[in-house]
Amino acid sequence: MRSAVEDILPNKVKRSLSKLGADIAIARKKRSLTVKMMAERLGVAKSTYLRIEKGSPTVAMGAYAMTFFVLGFGNVLGEILDQSRDDQGLLLDVQRLPKRVRIPKTPAGL
State the pTM of this model: 0.77
- Give pLDDT tens digits for 47-77: 999 999 999 999 999 999 999 999 999 888 8
Work out the angle at residue 22's Cα, subtended by the Cα atoms of residues 20 and 23, and round it to the nearest 5 degrees.
65
pLDDT for the residue 2: 64
Assigned superfamily of 4-77: lambda repressor-like DNA-binding domains (1.10.260.40)
Q: For the chain, how big is the Rg over CA atoms in Å? A: 23
